[in-house]
Chain A
Amino acid sequence: MTVLDIPELALVALVGVSGSGKSTFARRHFAPSQVLSSDTFRAMVADDENDQSASAEAFDALHYVAGKRLRGGRLTVVDATNLQSHARAALIRVAREHDVLPVAIVLDVPEALAWERTEARADRTFGRQVLARMSRDLRRTYGQLAREGFRKVHVLRGVDEIEAAEVRYERLFNDRRELTGPFDIVGDVHGCRAELESLLTRLGWQLHRDDAGRPVDATHPSGRTAVFVGDLVDRGPDSPGVLRLVMGMVAAGHALCVPGNHEQKLLRKLRGRNVRIAHGLAETLEQLDAEPAEFSTEVATFVDGLVSHYVLDGGRLVVAHAGLKEEYQGRASGRVRAFALYGETTGETDEYGLPVRYPWAREYRGSAMVVYGHTPTPEPEWVNNTICLDTGCVFGGRLTALRYPERELVAVPAEREWYAPVRPLTAAPARPDEVLDLTDVAGRRHVEHPYGSLTVPAENAAAALEVMSRFAVDPRRLVWLPPTMAPCSTSQLDGYLEHPAEAFADCRSAGVDRVVCEEKHMGSRAVVLVCREPDGGPFGPGGGVVHTRTGRPFFGDPLDAELLDRVRAAVTGAGLWDELATDWLLLDCELLPWSAKAGGLIREQYAGVGAAGRAALPATLAALDQAAGRGLDVATLRERMTRRRDDVSAYTTAYRAYVGPTDGLDGVTLAPFAVLAAAKASYAGRDHGWHLSLADRLCAADPGFFTPTRRRVVDLSDAEAVRDATDWWLALTADGGEGMVVKPYAGPAARNGRGSLLQPGIKCRGREYLRIIYGPGYTEPEQLAALRRRSLGRKRGLALREHALGLAALDALADGAPLWRRHELVFAILACESEPVDPRL
């Protein structure tokens, strides 16, 4: 029995004359969808599988389909004679384009048998001489296959061997998806053995030493695996020592290692090739000279056996020295290897004569995390789910490791500068902080942040781009956007769609035992970023900004500036600048009355509907009364129209509650309810008692301009307190109030016992208020029954995603993250808002 080893991902070319049994062979060993037969494609393009004139078109289509399959990572078998070198060359080209290995399987049967089979088929009409020519082509082919680029060539001679052959799949060397870690991924060591020892110790590894005291292996008590991103050698003081340890760990199965460009060059040197001795290679060679000659041989064997990249943990993690773009992951070809070792360069050189690296990571949109080294940076930075761990230890920086899946960075400082850098260690792409690039926000994007991750669909990004660029305030000042808020679960209580009972039940089931119920103000959301200096602060000119929940300027100038002045004065009056040691504050507020901002909307939409209803229904009722007077049976209709009239009247009352006289800022008040951030601090972790007490102090400082937030703090296990809060809500809403927001008392960043983020607030809206949301007559039993089928899952998911992004944005602001990173998060919140969600929720 002949075993045919084939890589799991390969382009397999069957080679053989007509009648050699290729199709039968393909049927036996491969799934029908894996086999692309030239006959099938001839039939597809020309309705006749024997129409040789259609061959060119048929192969064109075949190559196209083969390319699509290979792009998707699927084994593909080409069932054609493949006897001519140009036909095979085309297949090699397709394989290379998709970085998969080409494999040939030759089926060689006696010509007489092939002729017998051919003659037995009614549809094959060519003569014996054609077959004879094919046989001659086959003979010639043998010697050429390997040279043409087939990485494996299997030859099956005679019927028996063909019959007995077995296909066995072998995985690519880089495919280690079965390894799930946990991993400690170590950045470029460059001969810094001492730092490597410290780092491993820091990470909890135990070092094992030989008799001379040199570390030769390490183990981790919780069974972690180390992964080295390459560049173990050169420049540093003890490259052999690093190699000895890593080689020991790899041999013992405690570590994986991918090669770096420095190992590659060392290998060539050790193999006696002529290489330029530069970039610290001299030091390594010198140190190796002090070792026995066998050691160098071992090193050469080790480096030669390294695989250029690994795909780990079910495909979720990719490690390569210089990173790897998505198309190359899990593939094998020369250019894949080159990319993994050297990365991509733009062809330019910088002012130090070093090649300018192409920022592939900024374009990376893959789902696998890519961990790499190669380019020294002062601070490892996540870019599109990729991270470079080279923190320039050998240049006096740090040696950094990433704990996976924890995503924790652990670093030890260099003991000294071991080697002077050619280029000073600066953040790699010197991006002016104030400048935003379209690639920071456009297209389908995967946004990773400390509270989770999400994928922004391209169409949402496109919509958000328009809003952001045409309507929003300057991104420097747009540091946070409020998340959307989900309502409480739907009430089944008679006449209610939302009721506190459900809001409290939602909180309990989320694992919250203490909540604050805040009055839902009847205004517009306003985010106020106020700087201590009217014309200074870290956010550019203007001394801050007031914007809406979608990031638009609130009123525009000059009112916004006036509003900021009032807030600034109150913050000063309350003494918060010094108390919080800050020169700016970010406040989450509601601006009242609603008509101040939405007067047009109230007049044109709400009032219009009311006017039409208030005119139409009395006229209708008058006509019905007349008809009833004639003895017609219109009682049911009349009753329904009467209820409609009453509903419209209640609706009118509801919208009128949002109208207040304003002139400029006269009549306008601001109700702050959270102090989100200040210099170097996010206050998302503070409880709402703290937030509201600061808000109260602003109210006290300027009671004419600030409106306090009425509230109830409720311990959900206290039935009395729950009843009291419910009555409070009933009174509030009966009085024309909009309702309340129920928040975990612990604060915006509260988590439940399982450690998951909680909804930052659940709104519970008043029965009358909902008329302007669901329509005047939504309380009609049949309408209410239909509305109770509303589904909240999408809205809740969205609220939580936006909330998590918002928290990340606040942290990024506190951490002084670059503008593009902060903007990316805020942009993602805005993009979430393009999700189609029922606007009534």
Chain B
Amino acid sequence: MLLTLTTTHQPATDLGHLLIKHPDRVHAFDVPVGTAHIFYPEADEQRCTAALLLDVDPLRLAAARGRGRGRQPTTTPDSFTLGRYVNDRPYAASSLLASALSKVYRSALRGESKARPELAGASIPLEVRVPVLRCRGGADVATRMFTPLGWTVTATAIPLDELHPEWGVSRYVDLTLTGTMRVADALNHLYVLLPVLDDAKHYWVAPDEVDKLLRAGAGWLADHPERALIVRRYLAHRRALAGQALERLAAQRPTDEPTADDGVDDAPAAEPAPRASLAARRREAVHAALVDAGAHRVLDLGCGGGALLATLIGDRRFTEIVGTDVSSQALTIAARRLRLDRLPERQRDRLRLRQSALTYRDDRLRGYDAAVLMEVVEHLDPPRLPALEDAVFGYARPGTVVVTTPNVEHNVRYEGLPAGAFRHADHRFEWTRAEFADWVRQVCASYGYTAALHGVGDEDPTVGAPTQLAVFTRI
């Protein structure tokens, strides 16, 4: 991967002094994933270009990427396990390049130059080119990142495959920046923004990254309109760290007007604004249904990250709460979120997490007062539903079963959700109110339950509430 820095400040060859790399030599530095070379394709009085070429050694890269990683997740058996060996890292600018930059241009990044101290402090005409930059969110994001910093940005998307124009453009852009500024500022912009645009850090982001970011961003990041996005991506979406960094940045700002949030990160498309509140209302509705049923020992089947469990454990009426999920990873997340290891003993004893699959009968789930299937059934392929019905209604047979599922009719009310699309990528179906009622009726008839149907969320006169809920009672 390549990055060139050009100046037309005269004498242009002074760039060599600023970078402390002699223009007439070829420099090489060993970096963890290969070798960083610096050479000058052009170096005369009028124009001088320093090229940084990071020659990635695929073997060292694969070894580095392999370290500290667990096994590939099997939950997505078709996932690209070869990514460790077949990837764009040797070609596209990324955090690897940023790391190399900080090593080979260390003094220049700090704005230090023994030979030309005044020049290091002066704004000079500069041109930066990164021929291949992986840019999450497209060329537009690069423009939004660099323009506020005083750069003129030319970002051209690179086509995916010339032979297949129908595939469109790749996620890479050819980036050229021109502007007049200190070399140190230019390098700091690149140091921070290359990994931000790539949005895939090659190393584990530790808390000291906040200090690094604020140091490199001194003087420009606090006022950058995209600072929220920059901070989040730079800190690899670690929420706690990002919050910390934004707080410290806010302290540096004279006035504290809110920053624009970005629409670039691909948040799940659906239920944009009322999403959080709908989820909360759903939990409330389920909670109320359980209380109405007089249940004490309850199952949350498909508990996921444990949002409902958190609600239930706060209510002392529930003496035994069991959360199950088919994903052991989800259970780990739930345990962490519920701080299971830190709960007082009495609380902890009320709650248990277990791996179970709803398409199999499970002895351990028998004999409970109630079971909840909150936003679960739609994650099953329709042909597998009878297995779930047998396992839950036929075998576990709790006195009460509370089921919630999206009301597909309501989807037209979600802006940004394309017609016919489901609210979540993993939804295998979404039911109309009539379809849900049919299913409920059929389950009741087969397994000896009666049921009542409700809507959850704001009732819309034509399309109904966004979520539908059924409370089954065993006869």
Contacts and interface: CB of A to CB of B under 8 A. Distances in A.
Whether both chains belong to one complex is answered with: yes
A226 to B, nearest CB: 38
Contacts of A626: 41-42
Interface in B389-445: 390, 395
A552 B327 CA distance: 17
B387 A624 contact: no
Interface in A597-640: 598, 601, 603, 605-613, 615-617, 619-620, 622-624, 626-627, 630, 632-634, 637, 640
B86 A466 contact: no
Interface string B353-383: 0011111111110000000000000011101
B183 interface: no
A439 B41 CA distance: 68
Given A438-B361, A608-B172, A632-B39, A470 B78 contact: no
A435 B394 CA distance: 11
A465 B161 contact: no
Nearest to A465: B357
Given A469-B358, A659-B164, A834-B71, A605 B86 contact: yes
A608 B55 contact: no
Given A436-B387, A471-B77, A616 B381 contact: no
Contact of B172 (A605, A612, A833, A839): A612
Interface stretch (A401-409, A411-419, A767-775): A767-775
B80 A617 contact: no
A793 B134 CA distance: 38
Contacts of B55: 637, 640
B41 A630 contact: yes
A550 B86 contact: no
B430 to A, nearest CB: 16
B355 A607 contact: no
A463 B167 contact: no
Given A440-B360, A616-B1, A637-B55, A774 B174 contact: no
A470 B326 contact: yes
A623 B85 contact: no
B75 A470 contact: yes
Interface centre among A603, A640, A775, A840 (most CB of B within 10 A): A775
A436 B41 CA distance: 69
A702 interface: no
Interface in B77-105: 77-78, 80-83, 85-88, 90-92
Contacts of B205: none
A833 B77 contact: yes
Given A435-B361, A466-B326, A616 B26 contact: no
A579 interface: no
Nearest to A613: B91
B65 interface: no
B159 A611 contact: yes
Interface centre among A462, A623, A772 (most CB of B within 10 A): A623
Interface string B62-80: 0000000001101101101
A782 B26 CA distance: 24
A796 B299 CA distance: 43
Interface in B239-256: none
A438 B362 CA distance: 5
A221 interface: no
Contacts of B26: 627, 632-634, 637
B221 interface: no
A280 interface: no
A610 B160 CA distance: 8
B132 interface: yes
B91 A634 contact: no
Contacts of B164: 607, 659
Contacts of A542: 383
B9 interface: no
Interface centre among B78, B83, B86, B160 (most CB of A within 10 A): B86
A474 B53 contact: no
A466 B77 contact: no
Contacts of A610: 161
A553 interface: yes
A394 interface: no
Given A435-B361, A656-B161, A630 B85 contact: no
B91 A617 contact: yes
B170 interface: yes
A609 B87 contact: yes
Nearest to A462: B328
Given A465-B355, A616-B92, A608 B131 contact: no
A465 B53 CA distance: 47
B170 A465 contact: no
A464 to B, nearest CB: 7
Interface in B154-180: 158-161, 163-164, 167, 170-172, 174
B327 A466 contact: yes
Interface string A682-698: 00000000000000000
Contacts of B72: 836, 839
A138 B362 CA distance: 54
A437 interface: yes
Nearest to B51: A623
Given A608-B171, A632-B26, A469 B51 contact: no
| A interface bracket (residues with beta carbon within 8 Å of B) | 35 or more
A475 B361 CA distance: 14
Nearest to A477: B383
Contact of A773 (B59, B78, B82): B82
B71 A608 contact: no
Interface string A430-472: 0000011111111000000000000000010011111111110
Contacts of A622: 41
B24 interface: yes
Nearest to B390: A435
A467 B77 contact: yes
B21 interface: no
B257 to A, nearest CB: 38
Interface string A786-803: 100000000000000000
Interface centre among B90, B92, B158, B159 (most CB of A within 10 A): B90
Contacts of B17: none
A436 B160 contact: no
A601 B78 contact: yes
A630 B86 contact: no
B43 interface: yes
Interface in B284-330: 326-328
B58 interface: yes
B37 A637 contact: yes
Contact of B328 (A466, A550, A773): A466
Nearest to A541: B383
A672 interface: no
A40 B26 CA distance: 70
Contacts of A606: 86
A630 B361 contact: no
A783 interface: yes
Contacts of B59: 782-783, 786
A615 B326 contact: no
Interface of B: 1-2, 4, 24-26, 37, 39-43, 49, 51, 53, 55, 58-59, 71-72, 74-75, 77-78, 80-83, 85-88, 90-92, 131-132, 134, 158-161, 163-164, 167, 170-172, 174, 326-328, 355-364, 379-381, 383-384, 387, 390, 395
Given A463-B74, A552-B78, A637-B26, 11 more contacts: A442-B360, A467-B74, A467-B75, A601-B78, A609-B86, A611-B158, A612-B88, A615-B174, A619-B2, A623-B39, A627-B41
Interface of A: 435-442, 459, 462-471, 473-475, 542, 548, 550, 552-553, 598, 601, 603, 605-613, 615-617, 619-620, 622-624, 626-627, 630, 632-634, 637, 640, 644, 648, 652, 656, 659, 772-778, 782-783, 786, 833-834, 836, 839-840
15 contacts: A437-B363, A438-B357, A466-B326, A467-B74, A552-B78, A598-B78, A615-B91, A615-B172, A616-B91, A624-B39, A624-B53, A626-B41, A656-B163, A659-B164, A778-B58
